[in-house]
Amino acid sequence: MLYIGVDLGTSAVKLLLMNEDGKIENIASREYPLYFPNPGWSEQNPQDWFDQSMEGIKELLAGYPKEEVAGISFGGQMHGLVVLDEQDQVIRPAILWNDGRTGKETEYLNQVIGKERLSEYTANIAFAGFTAPKIFWMKEHEPENFGKIRKIMLPKDYLAYRLSGSFCTDVSDASGMLLMDVKNRRWSEEMLKICGITEEMLPKLYESYEVVGTLKAEITKDLGLSENVKVIAGAGDNAAAAVGTGTVGDGRCNISLGTSGTIFISSRNFGVDEHNALHSFAHADGNYHLMGCMLSAASCNKWWSEEILKTKDFKAEQEGICRLGENHVFYLPYLMGERSPHNNPDARAMFIGMSMDTTREEMTQAVLEGVAFGLRDSLEVARSLGIQLERTKICGGGAKSPLWKKMIANIMNLKVDVIESEEGPALGAAMLAAVGCGAYPDVETVAEKVVKVIDTIEPEADLVQKYEERYQEFRKIYPAVKELF
């Protein structure tokens, strides 16, 4: 049988076709626009997601036996607010995860409602990107639109709704809304009251590997698929990527160097750090995870290379970098504010430490190191909880850089396992579809079967020591310049 994984990203939808043995048969990708109607705002049209996903599925399945497709599932950009009216029409463009308009609402939730109460209700505090502050923003700034709301959903769940008619979400994605009691995997009555919404407005909660329905008749007709094709709940993109890298079960780690950067630690047990610097979310394997998320990771390198250096040859820019652990230039990677661990939407990127003999290579090196140092900040929070890690998987566009992987290994002092497939969320979604269709008994079993480590980058003792000194300098910079933001 065949399984479709849909990764609904910020710039494109990526679709993957996997067979029952875990072999990737085909991959397709379709882009859609991103809108910035005001400084710091970020929106998309949900119809674009649906249209490009449908076209992408057709492209993905061209030449393959459609009758063998058994299931479809999703990994999706998290935290986005999609709102529908009583006619099931989208009320306004979706407000995305990297939208920064909710500073006042976030502050109200954290300061007036209070971080302790929020953590008690949801295991998390408010971050500007989360869904609940966006609902507050609509209530305050678009009361007419707010009054029309009948359904609230996340981006990937809009796809599931259009494909199956099932008003659903999964616990990993719902964890990032600030509306869910993560520990008990249910909607928080207290948070619904605070936000002025009802449980009827929210989708039914499922585990990521559970079947939510089958394809609607008009969808099967358009795609040429059977009406028996199962739709499986899926997961938030980071949880789906973790499945795709085998970061399931207890005490495993994955670092993602995508547009945003994450450090993701799976756990069988629920846990929260005392300052809520890390997100405490449900995982797609039925357990839990801790996650540190930085808003700009590989996007820092893209910005530096394309906008400043005016080149897309990332490899060439990195070729002259050889003095690792000796750079005196530092870079704060906060192009769009920062989430973990600083929770400051006003933070901004900066270089510090340049002199007359600073080179282009040192500036590029500082960008790559700054992202790794930023991720290390979240790792230090996990270590403060007694979590001891020896190794991590790695995925995302930045993971294609051998130099960046070497930096990660030595800055984190972790063995970095490179896996055969770097398809992350799309592969994870296909794996969840296979579990939902009964091809595998659980998520850990399919991960063991599908995920293969092909290389490991080992930390080097002398380089670890050099980077330890550099990191201790880096971590002093943000507190020193925080007031400038």
Active-site hit among 7, 170, 173, 237:
237
Q: Decide if pLDDT at 421 tops 90.
A: no
Per-residue pLDDT band for 164 (boundaries 50, 70, 90) equals very high
Per-residue pLDDT band for 319 (boundaries 50, 70, 90) equals very high
**Is the model's pTM score more than 0.85?**
yes
Report CA torsion sign: 321, 322, 327, 330: positive
In the chain the first and final C-alpha atoms are separated, in Å, by: 54
Mean pLDDT within 448-475: 97
Quick one: tokens of 337? 């504010």
Closest CA to 434 of 19, 54, 62, 67: 19
Average the pLDDT over each of 103-107, 113-117, 274-278, 423-427 and give the range with the smallest value: 274-278
Does residue 197 contact residue 152 with C-beta atoms inside 8 Å? Answer: yes
Closest CA to 295 of 360, 242, 348: 348
- For 116, 202, 301, 317, 406, the CA distances from 359, given in Å and listed in that order, are 47, 53, 16, 12, 21
Mean pLDDT within 148-158: 98
Please state the separation of Cα 173 from the chain's center in Å. Answer: 9
Mean pLDDT within 218-234: 97
Position 277 scores a pLDDT of 85
Position 343 scores a pLDDT of 83
- Angle among Cα 169, 172, 177 to the nearest 5 degrees reads 75
Q: Is 447 left (phi over 0), alpha (psi -120 to 50) or beta?
A: alpha
Does domain 248-419+452-485 sit in CATH 3.40.50.960?
no
Position 39 scores a pLDDT of 86
User: Which H, E and C letters describe the chain, residue by residue?
Assistant: CEEEEEEECCCEEEEEEEECCCCEEEEEEEECCCECCCCCCCEECHHHHHHHHHHHHHHHHCCCCHHHEEEEEEEECCCCEEEECCCCCECCCEECCCCCCCHHHHHHHHHHHHHHHHHHHHCCCCCCCCHHHHHHHHHHHCHHHHHHCCEEECHHHHHHHHHHCCCEEEHHHHHHHCCEECCCCEECHHHHHHHCCCHHHCCEEECCCCEEEECCHHHHHHHCCCCCCEEECCEEHHHHHHHHCCCCCCCCEEEEECCCEEEEEEECCCCCCCCCCCEEEECCCCCEEEEEEECCCHHHHHHHHHHHCCCCCHHHHHHCCCCCCCCCCEEECCECEECCCCCECCCCCEEECCCCCCCHHHHHHHHHHHHHHHHHHHHHHHHHCCCCCCEEEEECHHHHCHHHHHHHHHHHCCEEEEECCCCHHHHHHHHHHHHHCCCCCCHHHHHHHHCCEEEEECCCHHHHHHHHHHHHHHHHHHHHHHHHC
Per-residue pLDDT band for 64 (boundaries 50, 70, 90) equals very high
Mean pLDDT within 327-341: 94
Quick one: tokens of 182? 């993560």
Any catalytic annotation for residue 285? no
Mean pLDDT within 100-117: 94
Residue 153 labelled as part of a binding site? no
Q: Decide if pLDDT at 422 tops 80.
A: no
Look up residue 442 and give its amino acid: D
Share of the chain above pLDDT 70, in %: 100
Position 260 scores a pLDDT of 87
| Average pLDDT score over the chain | 95
Mean pLDDT within 148-157: 98
Tens-place pLDDT, residues 121-137? 999 999 888 999 999 99
Position 98 scores a pLDDT of 87
For the domain covering 2-238, report its CATH number. 3.30.420.40
Tens-place pLDDT, residues 200-212? 999 999 999 999 9
Residue 342 labelled as part of a binding site? no
Position 167 scores a pLDDT of 98
Average the pLDDT over each of 185-194, 308-317, 333-342 and give the range with the smallest value: 333-342
2-238 shares its CATH topology with 248-419+452-485: yes
Rounded to an integer, what distance in angstroms lies between the CA atom of residue 279 and that of residue 367?
Answer: 25
Closest CA to 391 of 190, 255, 300: 255
Rounded to an integer, what distance in angstroms lies between the CA atom of residue 245 and that of residue 143?
Answer: 43
Does residue 83 contact residue 157 with C-beta atoms inside 8 Å? Answer: no
Tens-place pLDDT, residues 387-418? 889 999 998 889 999 999 999 999 999 999 99
Mean pLDDT within 49-74: 98
Position 225 scores a pLDDT of 97
Position 468 scores a pLDDT of 98
Per-domain residue ranges of the chain: 2-238, 248-419+452-485
Tens-place pLDDT, residues 255-266? 999 888 999 999
Tens-place pLDDT, residues 354-384? 999 999 999 999 999 999 999 999 999 999 8
Per-residue pLDDT band for 386 (boundaries 50, 70, 90) equals confident
